[in-house]
Amino acid sequence: MGTKRVGGSVARADGRRAVGRRRWGALLPIAAVAALLLATSCTDTRGRVTAFGEVVEIVALDNSFNPPVVVIAPGTTVRWINKGRLSHNSLVVTGDAAFGVAEADFAPGSSHEFTFTKVGEYSYFCSLHGTKDSGMTGKIIVSATPGSVDTSVSTQPPDTRASAGGGAVHRVPDDYKTIQAAVDASKPDDMVLIAKGTYHEAVKVKTDNIVIRGEDRNETVLDGEFKLDNGFLVSAANGVAIENMTAMNYKVNGFFWTGVQGYRGSYLTAVRNGDYGIYAFDSQHGQFDHSYGSGSPDAGFYIGQCNPCDALITDSFAEGNGLGYSGTNATDLVIVRSTFRNNRAGIVPNSGSYEKLAPEGKTTIIGNTVYGNSRSDLPAIDAALLVQGSGIISAGGIDNIIERNLVFDHDKGGILLLGFPEGETVWDVTGNRVKDNVVSDSRVADLAMVTKDTNIGNCFAGNTFKTSSPLDLEKLAPCTGKGTGDITAGNKGLAGFITNQNPPSVDYRTMPDAPSQTTMPDATSARWLPASPGNLPTIKVDLDALEVPSRPAGA
């Protein structure tokens, strides 16, 4: 079996070489914003491709190998190309070929190849963004008759039933020296209770319906020392709740759920993590509450690639990130009673073909405080650089509800509905409703809409504001009756709100510690509740009762 390689050494599942991540390269000009406008994380398409040809390409994005399953004939060369913004590795699970690659040799822009000559199945995964069973996984099926291989995908939903607080308690370090050992020993409905202390672990969770809780949010700390990948990686383990602790200094994410049904993060602090703080991808039925995210180049909070997401973010706080919240292709998501301040940009739901389930839509954003999201002295991915200086942005989103938010002090815009190009596709904004917000001190426009057509259902009404793009936006796109006015008058266009001239990213490792956060009440004695869909949400929010927040003291 021959091999040809661009990029260097091979990594197997029992021994990879890890190095620091390489920073994203030069930004594209505005005319070529395309997929980079709001790219945050990548899709697991779950499909299969049957390929006939000498060379087949697989694209590694930020959470997936695309396509994840390829059926080929013997003698075919597979070329993996990293077109994302993160480094990856490829660890071999099954098959006798050393076709993997080390993280050091698979940075953004690099590639590697392998020629498969033997019939068989070859499974692999990226340990930074998944496990051998789920997350960022791939499979090469080498068949003498590729066209005859079944390419159907099972859609059988998992059993996500769970009870509440009836299992055993596994204490760390009293019963188990490490968090990982306690998690591995747990059965559904058990709880892992972690004492105060600092733990240098990257914990992987594979058991359904368990609760992992720290005794003290500020003093139960997982520290990756900028060497470990994720504080917690919950991959295809349904109903896992993580509570009352801090994850900091990880190369990738603080708390990460992927491919799950039912998840919850409560009273969590994530600070100085190299990608996201608190993160759910390709997952449904979730809740983040009373949590804090700071110092991430991408977003403090992210929920994406889910339809419906059936998810809630409430009573939480994001500051000092590239983006306060980001979510690509998330549908049916609620963000309420939270604060997004002093990020490069605030709340940014968006559509994009680089992840599955486009477009983004039906995100409800009510009763939040959003201000000062113009900081340039922060870590930032390309998207955060481009949209820096705005509060709430629906980028290519449909049917979003943005109501009763307090939004102020932004270099560009307060609340924006932006259509934008991605290659030959234009993700336009349609059916969004912007009502009864209080928006002020936006240096370009308090309210803005960039669209090719005013008659596509976006509407503005009852907002307190001074400036808009185009002018008289509430008359041009009212929520009742027919609009009047000129869409070209005072229209700043897309270039008025995005730019690639913002200061470059700074090293996330230099970000400050998080301030002390409110810890979970009665953490050592309170009943525990797994995050199965039937148990969520644990916090009931009356959306109609939410009002515009008061201006924070000193802001």
Q: What is the C-alpha radius of gyration for the chain, rounded to an integer number of angstroms?
A: 23
Q: What pLDDT sits at residue 389?
A: 98
Q: Is 364 inside any structural domain?
A: yes
Are 364 and 385 in contact by the 8 Å Cβ rule? The answer is no
Per-residue burial over 397-425, b if 16 or more Cβ lie within 10 Å, else e, is bbbbbbbbbbbbbbbbbbbbbbbbbbeee
Domain termination site, one of 121, 145, 169: 145
Range of the domain at 85: 30-145
Q: Rounded distance, CA 28 to CA 33, Å?
A: 6
> What's the pLDDT score for residue 406?
98
CA distance 484 to 513: 51
* β partners of residue 170: 192
- Supply the pLDDT for residue 413: 98
Q: What is the pLDDT of residue 358?
A: 94
Residue-level pLDDT, tens digit, the chain, 555 residues: 333 223 333 332 322 222 222 222 223 343 333 333 322 333 333 345 555 558 888 888 777 787 788 887 888 888 888 877 678 888 888 876 688 888 888 888 888 888 878 888 888 888 777 777 767 888 888 887 776 665 554 444 443 334 555 799 999 999 999 999 999 999 999 999 999 999 999 999 999 999 999 999 999 999 999 999 999 999 999 999 999 999 999 999 999 999 999 999 999 999 999 999 999 999 999 999 999 999 999 999 999 999 999 999 999 999 999 999 999 999 999 999 999 999 999 999 999 988 899 999 999 999 999 999 999 999 999 999 999 999 999 999 999 999 999 999 999 999 999 997 787 888 999 999 999 999 999 999 999 999 977 667 999 999 999 999 999 999 999 999 999 999 899 999 999 999 888 999 999 999 999 999 999 999 999 999 999 999 999 999 999 999 999 999 988
Q: Is residue 11 part of a domain?
A: no
Print burial letters for 464-481: b (CB count within 10 Å at least 16), e (below 16): ebebbbbbebbebbeeee
40 lies in some domain: yes
Residue 438 and residue 406 in contact, taking contact as beta carbons nearer than 8 Å: yes
At a CB cut-off of 8 Å and minimum separation 6, what does 223 contact?
Answer: 198, 199, 200, 248, 249
User: What pLDDT, on the 0 to 100 scale, is given for residue 7?
Assistant: 31
Angle at alpha carbon of residue 480, lines to 478 and 483, rounded to 5°: 45
SS3 148: helix
- Residue 296 to residue 300: CA distance in whole angstroms: 6
Residue 405 near residue 548 (C-beta atoms within 8 A) = yes
Residue 243 vs residues 148, 399, 536, 539: alpha-carbon distances, Å: 48, 32, 15, 15
Please count the structural domains in the chain. 2
pLDDT of residue 132: 77
pLDDT, residue 403, reads 98
**Measured distance CA(28)–CA(312) in Å, rounded:** 34
User: pTM, whole model, 2 decimals?
Assistant: 0.82
Residue 151 lies in a domain: no
Classified as helix, coil or strand, 524 is: coil
Tokens of 252: 């990738």
Residue after which a domain boundary falls, among 145, 168, 197: 145
Measured distance CA(388)–CA(330) in Å, rounded: 21
Which structure tokens are listed for 415?
């609340």
**Nearest partner of 474 among 489, 484, 391, judged by Cα:** 484
Q: Which residues 6+ apart lie within 8 Å of 373 measured at CB?
A: 324, 340, 341, 342, 343, 344, 345, 346, 388, 389, 390, 391, 410
Q: Which helix (H) or strand (E) holds 476?
A: helix 473-476
Do the beta carbons of residue 85 and residue 24 sit within 8 Å? yes
Please report the pLDDT score of residue 16 as a whole number.
Answer: 26
Q: Which of 466, 487, 504 is the C-terminal boundary of a domain?
A: 504
Torsion angles phi and psi, residue 534, rounded to 5: -70, -15
CATH no. for residue 115?
2.60.40.420
Domain assignment present for residue 363? The answer is yes
Rounded Cα–Cα distance for residues 237 and 482 (Å): 50
Short-list 257, 281, 370, 262, CA closest to 324: 370
Assess if residue 6 is contained within a domain: no
- Whether 240 and 216 have beta carbons less than 8 Å apart is answered as no
The per-residue pLDDT for 156 is: 42
Q: Is residue 9 assigned to a domain? A: no
Q: Decide if 1 is inside a domain.
A: no
